[in-house]
Amino acid sequence: MPDIVIDVLRPGRGHRHVVRKRDVEAFIELIPDWAELSRGLSAVILDEGGDCDGYYAAGRVIAICAFERDLVVDRDAEYVRAHAGIFERLGVETEPHAEGALVHFTRGTARAFLLLHVFLHELGHHVDRMTTRSRHDCARGEPFAEAFAFELEERVRAAYFRKIGLD
């Protein structure tokens, strides 16, 4: 397995990390072909909370952002629709309102969402970049990253529940 630095930054005001370094280490052991998929990746950062769940930066870094302290997030209708399947698979409750929904996580479901979806989505951007001829951009964009995440989630979900779980 290639050496990947896992760095933890302060979560920021009103946020907390629901994913720990050991969770990332345990999760990547579940990913088939991790050595190949992570080729060129140098770090995973558990970053401060903000206006996104995670991001892929500088062609070498996956970041997972800290979560709202109370584990309730307000998302627009498009976001809720796009993630309805994984919310259902994880047992995450949504409370609809005019512009979208309040999404009610537990610590375990938030961690599972960030690893089984957000991390895999950002890994999808990395794979996209590394499989383009120039290796300079993520040519296939968001549709590729989302499809990659959902496909790989299907392959690792059962092992995730056995090894990491929703506690």
Which is nearest to 7 in space by CA: 42, 44, 48? 44
Q: What is the pLDDT of residues 27-72, one digit of tens each?
A: 999 999 999 999 999 999 999 999 899 999 977 999 999 999 999 9
Q: Is the pLDDT of residue 101 over 70?
A: yes
Task: Tell me the pTM.
Answer: 0.94
At 141, which amino acid appears? G
| 126-162 pLDDT, tens digit each | 999 888 765 566 666 688 999 999 999 999 999 999 9
pLDDT of res. 146: 95
CA distance 72 to 74: 7
Q: Does 2 score more than 60 pLDDT? A: no
Single-letter residue type at 120: L
106-113, Cβ contacts within 8 angstroms, sequence gap of 24 or more: 106/71, 106/166, 107/18, 107/71, 108/165, 108/166, 108/167, 109/166, 110/18, 110/67, 110/71, 111/18, 111/19, 111/23, 111/164, 112/160, 112/164, 112/166, 113/53, 113/83, 113/86, 113/87
Note the pLDDT of residue 1. 43
Report the number of distinct structural domains present in the chain.
1
Share of the chain above pLDDT 70, in %: 93
Amino acid 136: pLDDT: 60
- Domain of 83 in residue numbering reads as 5-163
Q: How far apart are CA 72 and CA 2, in angstroms?
A: 35
The Cα 24–Cα 14 span in angstroms is 22
pLDDT band at 122 (very low <50, low <70, confident <90, very high): very high
pLDDT at position 135 is: 55
pLDDT of residue 132: 77
The DSSP letter of residue 63 is E
